[in-house]
Structures are given as structure tokens and as C-alpha cells.
Amino acid sequence: MTKTPLQFRHNGREVALFVDGGTNLLVVLREMLGDVTPKFGCGQGGCGACTVLIDGEAHLSCLTLAETVEGRAVETLDGIKTGPNLHPLQQAFAEGFAAQCGYCTPGMLMAAKALLDRIPQPSREQVVEAISGNICRCTGYEPIINAVLAAAASRRASA
């Protein structure tokens, strides 16, 4: 099969590889780059576990053709800490019991990050809307929504 060269920024680092036609971004991240923070839940856009940011916007990596991220910036949960310090969202999720099995958590956090980067002080409705494509079967959405709001509040306090 012919391979296509692909180059993009992965969590701030320039990467280059060759992909088969039709390969999706989730496979590139997980299997080729070894970044397993985005998760496979359905492969059909139904669950949000594979959510990553492309140029700051939340996307489902399982439905994103790898070739379409050429030259763009892809951000995953693996890249949101600052050194050893947790991102305020990670802190708030941990403190607010916003994860149980943890499988939806990477996608949730990335969807939430896209929101806070765009709207630092969102309303509850905006949080609900932002994570509406992400399914959690364990925790229930209330602690997750509250954690996102708490992260926004903690940023305001420290700003």
C-alpha cells in the first residue's frame, strides 16, 4: 500500500511519519506515536473517548483522517500538564471525584480544555454543551460538570 508522508505538531513537538491511506488520527497517535491517552470507545463518533484538540478545537480523532492534520497542532491529554504540575482541570477532576474507571476522562478533559481555552468562565450550560459528545458510564455527569466549573473558578482566583 502506498504511504503518505505526514508532519504535524504533537503536544508541541514536531513529528513526521508515513501513513497508509485511510488511517485515522486515533491510530496514528496510539499505535504509531505511542500516545495512548486518547482512547478507543467506538470508532464511530459516538462516545468522545478519543477527543483531541486540533489547533485548539475539540475533534474526534477516530473520525479524523490522519492526512488532514498535516501542518497542524494536535494536543492530547499527554500534553496538558506543565512540567510536574497538573493542569487546573486535572486538579479539579481529581479533587471532585470526576472519574471512576477513568476511561472517558482523557476525552472529557480535552473537551473541557477546548471550552476553557475559548471561554475561561463558562456558564453551566456551556459546560454541558461542551461535554455533550462525551459519554461517561460510571461517574455521572454532575461531578464532571462541577469539576469543570471548579477549574474555571480556580483559574479566576489565581488570575
Partner 1 sequence: MLELRKDIFADERDDNLNEVGKGTQRQDMLGHVTGTSTYFNDHKLQGMLHLRVVRSAQPHARLRRIDTSEAERSEGVRRIIRGSDVPRNLNTLLSLINFGKDDEPTLAVDKVRYRGEPIVAVVAETPRAAAEAAAKVRIDYEDLPAVFDVEEALKPGAPTVNETYPKNTFIYHERYDHQKLRFGDVERGLAQADHVLEQRYQMSPIEHAPVETNGSIAAPDTNGRYVVYTSTQALFFSLDTCAKILDLPSNTFHFIGGTVGGGFGGKVDTLTEPLAILAAMLTGRPVRYVLGREEEMQFGPPRGAERIYIKDGVMRDGRIVARQIRGYFDSGAYTRLSSYAVVKCAAHLPGPYTIPNVHGDIYCVFTNRTPATAMRGFGITGIDFALECQMDKLAHLIGMDPMEFRILNAYRDGDMKAHRREAKNTALIECVQVAAEKAKWPMREEFRRMSSRKDGGGARAAVPSTPRETAATRPAPAQQRTSYDRGLSSPPLEPPPPPPQSPAPSSSHGATRFSSVFGTRRR
Residues that bind partner 1 (CB under 8 A): 30-31, 34, 36-37, 39-44, 46-47, 49, 76-78, 81, 86, 90-91, 93-94, 97, 99-106, 109, 135-138
Minimum distance between the CB of residue 43 and partner 1, rounded to whole angstroms?
6
Q: Beta-carbon neighbour count of residue 47 at 10 Å?
A: 22
Instruction: Check residue 77 for interaction with ligand FES (CB under 6 A).
Output: no
Query: DSSP 3-state assignment of 36?
Result: coil
Q: Beta-carbon neighbour count of residue 74 at 10 Å?
A: 26
Q: Which three three-digit cell numbers place residue 121?
A: 468562565
Minimum distance between the CB of residue 66 and partner 1, rounded to whole angstroms?
14
Minimum distance between the CB of residue 148 and partner 1, rounded to whole angstroms?
13
Q: What is the C-alpha to C-alpha distance for residues 113 and 89, in angstroms, rounded to an integer? A: 7
Q: What is the C-alpha to C-alpha distance for residues 156 and 44, in angstroms, rounded to an integer? A: 37
Instruction: Check residue 141 for interaction with ligand FES (CB under 6 A).
Output: no
Instruction: Check residue 136 for interaction with ligand FES (CB under 6 A).
Output: yes
Instruction: Check residue 114 for interaction with ligand FES (CB under 6 A).
Output: no
